[in-house]
Structure 1
Amino acid sequence: MAKYGMVIDLQKCAGCAACSIACKNENNVPDGIFWSHYITETRGEFPKITYTYISTLCNHCDVAPCVDACPVDPKAMYKQDDGITMHDEDSCIGCRACENACPYGVIYYNERGVAPFENWQSGEAAALTEKVGGTVIPYYNPDRAITYAGIRRENKVEKCTFCDHRVINGESPYCVVACPADARIFGDLDDPNSEISQLLSSNDSTVLLPEAGTQPNVYYIHRFDVKE
């Protein structure tokens, strides 16, 4: 069984946010919710300005506070054998304990949801609008529903799943595929011959908030040093 992780090369990353856009398209992520996001920081005073852009997503931690915090049985937030931290919408009671426990702020609460629909691609716009109760969904990827709700319900949490519906078919998460700079590398951390393992063995790497003790499986290499 593989143990999946991701490396993000910060010197290759162009800060274009293609990963965030691709994630929304692939996973039908609604407005105001970000499975793939970023941290930006501007430091200094003109003309000596430093700008930092760091892509973020669920870290799929080995010691996952979100899983520990989930109060239901069976757990709504849980670890798969392949290391992916998954969410069971049916078990989720919307208590937001996982969201509050996550030190990275990458779990989102969906207050609105989206009206249920079927076969929305067919028919004229007026008929479609009526069919979905006045809510027209301009884009929907049915592949997301292979392993997880294609459209999540209201009053539930949601987050990145490493595009597990693609991973089970031997594909990389869509953010990896969409990155124009090849800054994201996904693979098996337990395979010493995988590209991700080779990168981690030959480069210094960092994780976000190492002091949190969560043992993240998203790593950053070639981080820029900021000199005052």
Structure 2
Amino acid sequence: MTSETLDSQMIAELEETDLQDEGVDLSMVIDLQRCTGCGACNIGCAQENNLQEGQAYSSRIIETEGEFPNVNYEYTPTLCNQCDDAPCATGCPTSALYKGDGNITMHDHEKCIGCKACMMNCPYDEITLNKEDPHPHWESNEAVIENGTATPKQVKEQADVDEDAPAYYNPNREVGEHEHPTRYKGVVEKCNFCVHRLNEGELPRCVEECPCEARIFGDLNDPDSKVNEVLGKYNPDVLKEGEGTKPKVKYVRDYNGGSYERGTGEPGLSD
């Protein structure tokens, strides 16, 4: 199955799914055997959500063991786990974090007071606080090459975007209740499965950008969904299962990049 065919199948499922139906339970499956660690998901997510430097809804865990040339490298894509039992939401004193359509853990910036209770309660470190005004880099008058390149502020002026927006501003997040296209100082932010895209019958940007079909998205309560097809074939894992949060981002088929010296073994009956 090609990436285009898989995307079409998942999009067709989304178009038939009413996110406001209480029976919809959206999930993402990440196939670690298919993932190559290219980072397209991370780049696409940052562009889609107007993230500033230092923020990442789509990230990764990198582990390296051994010494060259016998090195084992593991790359695990990460994002908000959209937990069924979300401690970030249950511990929020203002209900700024709440369960929305599709059982997605949403964030209402208008209610957020920046207390960081959600950050302390999240065992996955997937919520960040905006400690300064958004996108300060684009206010800089310092060029990379003096008299050779434009300054970030000049680039932004040529892009003709709002004062608090980056030069690469994407207007997609202007839609939807409780959505703020660039966020602002003093509130937290996190992944919400690109709910603004879901409402338009589109896949999350990280799913769409993956060139390896490593991310599969859909409704856990639909027995015919692609996610259930994959979960029916492979025994899934979740991050930090012992925390008891019941993550809805699931992993299948651990990548095995190990090697061993070639050989056929030895006879077992010799003296």
TM-score, normalised by the number of residues in structure 2: 0.75
Contact 2:132–2:186 under 8 Å retained in 1: yes
Give the Å deviation of 1:140: 1.1
Stretches of structure 1 that go unaligned for 5 or more consecutive residues are 116-123
Residue 25 (str. 1) matches residue 47 (str. 2): yes
Which residue of structure 1 aligns with residue 115 of structure 2?
95
Residue 224 (str. 1) matches residue 255 (str. 2): yes
Tell me, what secondary structure is at the counterpart of 2:217? strand
The separation in 2 between residues aligned to 1:225 and 1:158, in whole angstroms, is: 34
Percent of aligned pairs sharing the same letter? 46
Q: Within 5 A, what are the aligned runs for 1:1-228?
A: 1=21, 2-72=24-94, 75-114=95-134, 125=157, 128=160, 132=163, 137-147=166-176, 148-224=179-255
The separation in 2 between residues aligned to 1:105 and 1:199, in whole angstroms, is: 27
Stretches of structure 2 that go unaligned for 5 or more consecutive residues are 1-20, 136-155, 260-271
Deviation above 2 Å: which 4+ runs of structure 1? Answer: 124-129, 224-228
The number of equivalent residue pairs is 215
Give the Å deviation of 1:81: 4.0
Q: Encode CA deviations 1:19-71: one digit per residue, 9 max, x unaligned.
A: 00000110111110111000000012232211000000000000001011101
TM-score, normalised by the number of residues in structure 1: 0.89
Give the Å deviation of 1:226: 7.8
Larger strand percent: 1
Give the Å deviation of 1:125: 2.9
Structure with larger Rg: 2
User: What is the one-letter code of the residue matched to 1:52?
Assistant: E
C-alpha spacing 1:18/1:76, structure 2 compared with 1 (3 Å): same
C-alpha spacing 1:49/1:127, structure 2 compared with 1 (3 Å): closer
Tell me, what secondary structure is at the counterpart of 2:77? strand
Q: Encode CA deviations 1:95-116: one digit per residue, 9 max, x unaligned.
A: 011011100011011111328x
